[in-house]
Structures are given as structure tokens and as C-alpha cells.
Amino acid sequence: MKRLTSIIITRPTGKSFRLMVQSWVLAGAVVALGAISLALIGSALVNVKLFHYYSSTKKMNANNQAQQVVVERLKNEVDALRSMMEELILKEEKIRQDLGQPKQRRLSQRRLLKKKQHQFSAAYPPNHYESFATHQLTSELNYMKGHALAIEQRMRRHLSVMKQYNNWFDETPSIWPIYGYVRSGFGWRTHPLRRSRQFHKGIDIPAWMGAPVQATADGHVEFAGWGGGYGWIVVLSHKFGYKTIYAHLSEIGVNPGRKVFKGQMIGKVGSSGLSTGPHVHYEIRQRQTALPPADYLNLDLFTAVSKLW
């Protein structure tokens, strides 16, 4: 005999319904409903897990992309800083060698420069930072910035010294007053007109009448006028107690107190005063002591560094 289960459906108003269902059908429906409920719950849980995984993966990818951007920026900064440091090493070594002794510059400049470049390449090899993490790149970048700052500070000191040397050099006699040759040198000689033995305090450089005479250093015109046996004369005063004298001129092109610059024309060659022909008598004095002008002809900055200062 089949077992039936009655299901009565009542309403507040109206008729009631009575449904007769076999027991196995009802049990199957309950089981199916339970299975569906479990499937829906499992699906919801899986979707939640997938959503969290997707969100975390998306966030991780965004962080990785941001970190990659930072890493690339740091690598670019490292490369730029490395190039700047290489250039600073070249400039610093060039200035250092320029300020050194001329002989040492010739013998050791290339060797010392190659040594510095090798040391730098060993400490900061190219593509050495490809596998570095962000914090390692940041640390290395900060260290390199400190190194570059130290090089820049040394360069500033070198440039300061170089600027001072240039200022000194501008005020130091270093060129010919007029290009030619020395006919009568510095020292004891027989005076060509007086025929007596006298100490010649300068040099005589012959030239054609009216040739331009130039100042051999920056300075001020201390005297410009007639100088007796010197004829028409210009006396310039410079730093470090230097004075330069240009004698036997035919014309004077500057006035006393005027500032003049190295290479500027200050007069013209003549034969005034006690002179046997057109030439420039050129003297260099330092605190009233006559110096051999030959030591100050064709003088460059680096020779001045090693010989005069």
C-alpha cells in the first residue's frame, strides 16, 4: 500500500486546499531543495573567494607596476648620476693636472686619469643595478649622490684656485710688448752711446717706427710722459709689486691713472731719448728690483704656477 502525505494549504478567507503527495516524492523534493541550497551557498563562497583573489591580484599588479616605475626611475637616475660622475672625474682630474707641475702633467696625466676611471668602473660597473631591489637602488643612489657631491665640492675648490690663478696671471707680465727678437739682453753691457759699462735693467726689442706696443699684464698707468734718457715712457703698476716699463716710444696712447688690460696698445715704437734706433726698452721690476724680462716672455698660466707663485 502506497504511503501518502497530506499537505493542507489554508487561507484566511476562502477555501482550503488539500494536496496528497507520496512520501518518496516529498522526500526527494526536500533532498533536491537542500542540494540546491548547498550549491548556492558553495557558489557564493567561491565567488567571494574569487573576488578577494581578483582584488588582491589586481592590487598586487598595481603595486608591482608602481614599483617597476620607481625601479626604472631609480635606474635612470643611477645611469644619469653615473655619467655625471664620470664627467666630473674627467673635469676634476683635468683641473688638478692643470694646476700641477708641467713636467708631472706630461708624465702622469693619462696614467692617473686611467687609474681613476678604472677605480670608478670597478666601484660602479655598468648594468650592475639591474637585479637590485628598490631599497637597494635607493641606498646605492644615495651613496652615489654623496660621492658625486664630494667630487663637486673638490671641483669647486679647484675652480676657485683656478680662478685665483687666472686673476693673478692677468696681473702678471707674461707676453712680449712687441713681437720680435731681443737685441740687447738683461745684465751688464757696454752702453752703445756712452761707451761705459752699465747694468742693463731690461731688454731691447727692435721694431719698425710706429709699431704698436702692448701692455704685458693688466694694471694701471702709473706714469706716462717724458723720462729723460728713457725718452717717452709708460710705466704700468700691477699686483704683487710688479711694474713694467716701456721706453723710447714715439707716441703714448694712455693717460696716468687709466686701467689697461693685457694685450692693449699703450703706445708706439720710437727712438726717443738715448737710443740708437727704433726699439722698445722693456723692464720688469718687483718692489724696485729689476727682474730678467726673458723669464716673463711667452709665459703661460701653468708655467707661472710652477715658477712664479
Q: pLDDT tens, 13-24?
A: 666 666 666 666
Collapsed DSSP state (helix, strand, coil) of residue 28:
helix
Cα–Cα distance list, 135 to 59, 67, 144, 237, 282 (Å): 20, 11, 14, 62, 69
Alpha carbon distance 273, 234 (integer Å): 13
Alpha carbon distance 252, 236 (integer Å): 13
CB 232 within 8 A of CB 270: yes
CB 306 within 8 A of CB 248: no
Q: What is the pLDDT of residue 7?
A: 61
Q: Can you name the residues that pair with 197 across neighbouring β-strands?
A: 190
Helix (H) and strand (E) counts in the chain: 4, 13
Q: What is the pLDDT of residue 301?
A: 79
Q: What is the pLDDT of residue 207?
A: 95
Per the rule left: phi > 0, alpha: psi between -120 and 50, beta: everything else, 241 is left
Collapsed DSSP state (helix, strand, coil) of residue 266:
strand
Split at pLDDT 50, 70, 90, the class of 9 is: low
**CA gyration radius, the chain:** 48
Sign of CA dihedral 107, 112, 113, 115: positive
Q: What is the DSSP letter of 6?
A: E
- For 212, the grid coordinates are 704698436
Q: Which residues contact 106 (CB under 8 A, 6 or more apart)?
A: none
Q: What is the pLDDT of residue 182?
A: 94
Q: What is the pLDDT of residue 305?
A: 73
Q: pLDDT > 70: what percent of the chain?
A: 72
Cα–Cα distance list, 75 to 151, 204, 226 (Å): 21, 66, 72
Q: Tens digits of per-residue pLDDT, 230-274?
A: 999 999 999 889 999 999 999 999 999 999 999 999 999 999 999
Q: Tens digits of per-residue pLDDT, 28-54?
A: 777 888 888 888 888 888 888 877 877
Q: What is the pLDDT of residue 17?
A: 61
On the question of pLDDT at 226 being above 90, the answer is: yes
Q: What is the pLDDT of residue 129?
A: 53
Q: Tens digits of per-residue pLDDT, 126-181?
A: 555 555 556 666 676 677 777 777 777 877 887 788 888 888 899 999 999 998 99
CB 6 within 8 A of CB 18: yes
Alpha carbon distance 203, 196 (integer Å): 17
Q: Tens digits of per-residue pLDDT, 181-221?
A: 999 999 998 877 777 889 999 999 999 999 999 999 999 99
Residue 89 phi, psi (nearest 5): -60, -45
Q: What is the pLDDT of residue 29?
A: 75
Alpha carbon distance 102, 131 (integer Å): 45
Cα–Cα distance list, 141 to 74, 87, 97, 137 (Å): 8, 17, 29, 6
Collapsed DSSP state (helix, strand, coil) of residue 65:
helix
Residue 5 phi, psi (nearest 5): -120, 130
Alpha carbon distance 234, 213 (integer Å): 10
CB 249 within 8 A of CB 280: yes
Q: What is the pLDDT of residue 216?
A: 96
Alpha carbon distance 300, 309 (integer Å): 13
- For 52, the grid coordinates are 578577494
